[in-house]
Structure 1
């Protein structure tokens, strides 16, 4: 078992959750039940799946939850692109967050690859 609170991938993805909530506060009100909701739910899903995976009895099961987390990270990246394309965020903020999500994706993939699945 892993202590999820000590995992860098969990801490980095929790920081992304805060960033997601912060940027979506400035999105148009009509997006409340659209991209705002979807983007924040996706962001929360990343660390949630990591922490849920740590409770599993085997690394094989943990790896499956890391896969879910990675899927949410890619989904969040797509929503970030939509937000940028709709001019909800600046190019500077887009690039900063794009770098962060790509780093998180790499970290999750690397962590998953390092698990002994036998």
Structure 2
């Protein structure tokens, strides 16, 4: 009986070793995936910093002033007046124009058109 017990225990140890190896392999893959995600996050942060720097250069008031002076004749820009500033609630709603419904219209087609046979 001890022979069968030894065989069962040996098989159990081999199964446990295989399970531990599989867990270790999964953990390594997960760690590699986390490292790759961290690299991507770092790249995105670096790209964001670059875009913020470019945005601040593009919105530099002296640069914008030079562009306005350069293209003023073409753009016909004028200074902003106080009367142009308002609240969104004061802006009138644009009316929606709907086409009238034709009483002779058929479902799925235009009035006077032949039905589609498939």
Question: Normalised by the size of structure 1, how large is the TM-score?
Answer: 0.25
Q: Which has the larger radius of gyration?
A: 2
Instruction: State the structure with bigger RCO (CA 8 A, min sep 6), 1 or 2.
Output: 1
